[in-house]
Structure 1
Amino acid sequence: MRKKIKPFSVLVIILVLALMIAACGSNSTNQSNNTTIRIGTKDFTENLIVGELYALALEDAGYHVERVPSIAGSVIHTSLVNNEIDMYPEYTGTGLLAVLKMDLITDPDEVYKTVKDEYEKQFQITWLNYSQANDGAGLVIRTDVSKKLGITTISDLQKHATELRFASQGEVDQREDGIPALERVYGKMNWKSSKVYDNSLKYTVLSNNEADVAPAYTTEGQLVNKDVFTLLEDDKRVWPPYNLAPVIQNTVLNANPNLAEIINKISAALDTDTITALNAKVDVDKEEYEDVAKAFYESIK
């Protein structure tokens, strides 16, 4: 004898079927979000923080993310071209000079347009919107010396070079976009003395009054301490801009059209002061970069 199906059982079956259909529809709608995006980062604090911000934003949108951290800067572009990663945070000046081997340009918009066009032609890679965060070359002076001698620009510095001790990092003295480029525009820097120190020691050397001036990158975390360190203005614009921007394979971007909007929101939230402060939390305050990135992401959601 067949058992009669009770009305309650029929209702349960209908509800289960409805949920299954809804789930299938949801999976179809969000299919692109099931894609795994491999995010690479270079092997220094700032790039790790920014890459983690990209990852958090994509995960928040439903994407699966594979983090590929601390890739050497010399090979990360090749990793992208060879489909070992899908995207990473790059710098417009690096793209122009180190990757494309093109002539120096100092206007940020022109640098961006140049690298965007050339990457598309040569590599089928897209530069998304660049941020106002500029991690470029610069010179830092002890604030007490800056105030004593009235030095706020590199032009001021050149006039007082004979009174100042330079803490070199060696490489910057030889690089085409380093001191040689500086001296072609500002004139010879006839330092009172010049001694080579490891880059990791330069702020200690300045703090200990063993030197007065050192090369710097414009978003280094130690620069938040303006009572001790002053970043000099490049008033003649010798150095190219190094604005942060995401670079991504065209195939990945075309398959995930909402990805650009998600990542561009991160870039829009970053400027030089903001990224310097984030770097300081890691390099000065010794917080974990993942924690710093998460706290900042939560503040801009």
Structure 2
Amino acid sequence: MKRIRHFIILPLLALVTAGILIACATGGNSSSTQTPIRVGSKDFTEQFIIGEMYASVLEKAGLQVERKLNLGGTPVAQKALENGEIDVYPEYTGTGLLTVLKLPANSDQKAVFDTVSQNYKEKFNLVWLEPAPMNNTQALAMTTEGSQKFGVKTISDMAAKASELTMIGPPEFEVREDGLPGIKQKYGNFQLEEYKAVDAGLRYKGLVDGEADVTVAFGTDGEISAFKLIVLEDDKKLFPPYQIAPVVRQAAIESHPDMQKALNQLAPLLTNETMQRLNYEVSGKQREPAEVAKEFLQQEGLL
């Protein structure tokens, strides 16, 4: 009889112990039991930095994260989000409006955000969180000396002096609707002295070396602050706003309630000046995006 009890009690103890271990491993809402939040990004410097920031603040909030950075261009990142291959990535309001939704351009920041927010929710069940004040819109820039020499501070000024100016930029800018054709339509059918078509990475070198007077730029390019360039005012409001914000799957927000607060606290810190500086740390000083992101978040008290 004792031997029978022994054989019964030992398996029961084993079952109870296993049950306790399973309960400990699966109990509560611990992040260890949650599926990881998959953070994506597109394939350029600013996206790498901000993608790393998103991942880091989520980890700081106690959430598991899987990085899927450097996915490719907008169509690839958007499709990955729609298909549930990623849960969140940084996107620009202007890109959402023009490239994804294919809606008409609009220069009103709030109107653009409200439009993309509503349409993404209705079409894709995706949520736009708080946008940052930074605006990585297309732009034209000059050196301080060049701006003073020609008396050019706005795109209207540039159009008036166009016959004296050489512009440098990527080849597609000559034909894109939001490139030279769009500028001419909005600001008058001016004629530049010359347009130098170069690889995008050579634009700023050509400008500061004196090979051109005006360069095609984007609002948060690191070279703008590094070389103290003057961004020409888009005084006729041609270019739409390109504020950046996390775009998130609704299902991810529901399963990870803390992620919205963690990401929204970052938004106010991302200004044009901040992103110009951080972008140049990577593009100009060849530092790793993860290192630059971590250093910034530590300085701001988010890590």
Per the normalisation by structure 2, the TM-score is 0.88
> Could you tell me how far 1:50 is from its partner in structure 2?
0.4
> Paired residues, what number?
281
Q: Name the % identity.
A: 38
Q: Which moved more, 1:95-104 or 1:281-290?
A: 281-290
CA distance in 2 between counterparts of 1:224 and 1:298 reads 22
Per-residue deviation at 1:24? 4.0
Contact 2:31 2:62 in 1 (8 A): no
Letter in 2 for 1:56: S
| Contact 2:32–2:64 under 8 Å retained in 1 | no
Q: Matched residue of 1:52: which SS?
A: helix
Tell me which amino acid in the other structure corresponds to 1:46. Answer: E
Q: Is the 8 A contact 1:153 1:233 kept in 2?
A: yes
Alpha-carbon distance in structure 1 between the residues aligned to 2:76 and 2:195: 32
Deviations 1:129-157 (A, max 9, x none): 11101111000112211011221111111
Between the aligned partners of 2:182 and 2:118, the Cα distance in structure 1 is 26
Q: Secondary structure at the match of 1:75?
A: helix
Q: Return the alpha-carbon distance in structure 2 between the equivalents of residues 139 and 242 of structure 1.
A: 15
Letter in 1 for 2:188: G
Provide the secondary structure at the position in 2 that maps to 1:176.
Answer: coil
Does the aligned pair in 2 maintain the 1:32–1:256 contact within 8 Å? no
Q: Which letter maps to 2:122?
A: K
1:250 maps to which residue? Answer: 250
Shift of 1:172: 1.4
Structure 1 position 226, deviation (Å):
4.5
How far did 1:284 drift? 1.1
Q: Which residue number in structure 1 is paired with residue 240 of structure 2?
A: 240
SS at match of 2:183: helix
Matches within 5 A, 1:76-115: 76-115=77-116
Residue 161 of structure 1 corresponds to 162
Q: Tell me how far apart the structure 2 counterparts of residues 259 and 189 of structure 1 sit (CA, whole Å).
A: 49
Query: Would you say the 8 A contact 2:93–2:243 is kept in 1?
Result: yes
Give me the whole-angstrom Cα distance separating, in 2, the residues matched to 1:189 and 1:293.
Answer: 42
Task: Give the corresponding residue for 2:264.
Answer: 264
- Asked whether the 8 Å contact 2:132–2:244 carries over to 1, the reply is yes
Read off the aligned partner of 2:277 and give its amino acid letter: A
1:288 to 1:213, Cα distance in 2 relative to 1, 3 A: same
Corresponding residue of 1:175: 176
Whole-angstrom distance in 1 between the partners of 2:69 and 2:31: 26
> Who is 1:39 aligned against?
39
What CA deviation, in whole Å up to 9, does each residue of 1:64-101 have, x standing for no partner? 11111111113110111011111100000000000000
Q: Retained in 2: the 8 A contact 1:33–1:62?
A: no
Query: Any unmatched runs of 5+ in structure 1?
Result: 1-16
Q: Which residue of 2 aligns with 1:190?
A: 191
Whether the 8 Å CA contact 1:32–1:255 is kept in 2: the answer is: no
CA deviation after TM superposition for structure 1 residue 35, in Å: 3.1
- 1:6 aligns to what? none
Distance 1:153 1:48 in 2: 31
Letter in 1 for 2:158: L
Most deviating of 279-288 and 178-187: 178-187
Task: Map 1:24-63 to 2 at 5 A.
Answer: 24=24, 27-31=27-31, 34-63=34-63
- Give how far 1:221 is off: 0.5
Structure 2: gaps spanning 5 or more residues? 1-16
Q: Distance in 1 between matches of 2:158 and 2:32?
A: 54
Q: Do the aligned residues in 2 keep the contact of 1:35 with 1:63 (CA within 8 Å)? A: no
Distance in 1 (CA, whole Å) between partners of 2:113 and 2:217 is 23
Residue 248 of structure 1 aligns to a residue whose secondary structure is: strand
C-alpha contact 1:88 1:248 (8 A) present in aligned 2: yes
Q: Is the 8 A contact 1:46 1:279 kept in 2?
A: yes
Deviation string, structure 1 residues 248-279 (Cα, Å, up to 9, x no partner): 11111111222111100111211111111110
Q: Contact 2:226–2:277 at 8 Å: present in 1 too?
A: no
Q: What is the identity, as a one-letter code, of the residue corresponding to 2:246?
A: P
**TM alignment of 1:61-80, pairs within 5 A:** 61-73=61-73, 74-80=75-81
- Whole-Å separation in 2 of the counterparts to 1:105 and 1:194: 27
2: CA distance between counterparts of 1:84 and 1:110?
Answer: 29
- What's the offset of the Cα at 1:31? 4.6
1:27–1:270 distance in 2 versus 1, CA, 3 Å = farther
Q: Contact (CA 8 Å) 1:224, 1:276: kept in 2 or not? A: yes
Aligned to 1:116: 117
1:208-248 CA-to-partner distances (Å, cap 9, x unmatched) read 21111121111111011344x22111111110000000001
Tell me the SS of whatever aligns to 1:247. strand
SS at match of 2:153: coil
Give the AA of the match of 1:126: V
